[in-house]
Chains A and B, each alone.
Chain A
Amino acid sequence: MKRALAWLAGLAMVAAAAAVGHLTLTEGQQQSPFVVQAALGDPAVGRTFAVTVEQVRAADAVADAGGWHAAGNWVVVDLEAQARESETASILTLIELRVGEVVYGASERPVSLVDTPLSVGLPQSGSIAFELPESLTSGAATLRLGRTAEDRLDSVAELQIDLAALERRPSIELRETAWAQ
């Protein structure tokens, strides 16, 4: 009887230890960003910023209002963005497109909303362009927007994109960054 009890208690402790091991959040989970799911046309409100993604298209070439243009496999995001409480350091520095494990950054080649300081209450309209490898025209992608490239424990707006379903144009001119109408 005593022996059976000892075995039971031992097994129970092993099970409890396994449960604790499985249920405890990993460091990555403990520090993961607060994701705000965005939808086309709806504002996604983060802690320090609010963005409204208006359309996402693909193009074989892009141009900006300044005359720069380049061929390639581009994904162009048109959006409005504004700061929420402060205009200090209000640039969206996390602008990336994730396809599986691979992360593509917003292209700095055209003049775009990249590196534009946001204003409180006055949304700005503009575009962001991503340059992808030629062969990457299908698959699930995630657009991620956030205040800092260091996204741990801060809000990140995420929009799910199906690359194959994007409207593809021969050429797109990026919006000039301006106050939204």
Chain B
Amino acid sequence: MSSDPAGEKPIAAPSKATTDASAKAGRAAAAEAGAGTAAGGGGWLGRAAEKVPTKWLTAAVVALFLAATAAFGGLEPVAAQGPVEVAAGEAHEGPMVSLAPQRAVLIDDFVEGGASADAEEHERVLVVIVDAVNVWDRPVGGLSTEFRETLRLQPLPELPAEGVARFDDGTIGPDLQPGVPVQLAVSWLVPDDAFAEGDELRLELFDHTLHTGQSVTYGEFWDDAALAAVATLEIEDVGAGADAEQATP
């Protein structure tokens, strides 16, 4: 029984020796062939190739890869960067727009801002006044998907903004021109029991990534919205609104 491995060894050893020998012979032949073509100018290349320690190459590459991985923190999980907390009136500068949410107002209806609530459907309007500056190099549409995606209500994350209007002259869906600050009233149609006077509204601010079209797409576009900051605003309930109060004696 024990003679088997012993018997194998002598056979294995010579076979390894022969492979080494044949490899050496092969290399020698290659070198010779290289030397033979040296007249044509390729000799030095063959000799240089001969000197490359192929045996250690794989190990060296693996070691280099591991060293690089270790240099970047190895397999340690990357610390997740949570959203930044933003106070009322404080600006969060994203790559597309800089947004400074000022205050939040709950109102029965806000047709002039582009959000018309149906009281029978138990809808009210939540309006956020926000100072915005387009920091990109071309206009951003106020009612564009990418702009509306930058502001979301934390309790209702899937609800898109219904209306975006300028606070000064009431232009609905204004274009934000680069570098021109504008105060906007962004409004959402919300269930009338979702928010109340004095509640703290958690307003999420998202950052997009600018993509450049390739092959079948063209131009530049914003996509991949990621939560970047959260603003906390106290909600003020103005009922039917100041205008309505003045209108009804």
Contact = CB atoms under 8 A, between A and B. Distances in A.
B175 A103 contact: no
B138 A131 contact: no
A102 interface: yes
Q: Is the interface of B mostly helix, strand, loop or mixed?
A: loop
Contacts of A132: 177, 179-180
A102 B179 CA distance: 10
A102 B180 contact: no
Nearest to A109: B171
B77 interface: no
A105 B175 contact: yes
Interface of A: 3, 68, 70, 72, 101-105, 107-109, 130-133, 136
A133 B178 CA distance: 7
B137 A103 contact: yes
Contacts of A109: 166, 169, 171, 174
Contacts of B41: 3
A103 B138 contact: yes
A105 B180 contact: no
A152 to B, nearest CB: 8
B166 A133 contact: no
11 contacts: A68-B169, A70-B168, A101-B137, A103-B138, A103-B178, A105-B139, A107-B177, A108-B171, A108-B175, A133-B177, A133-B179
Interface in B141-155: none
Given A3-B41, A103-B139, A70 B169 contact: yes
B188 to A, nearest CB: 23
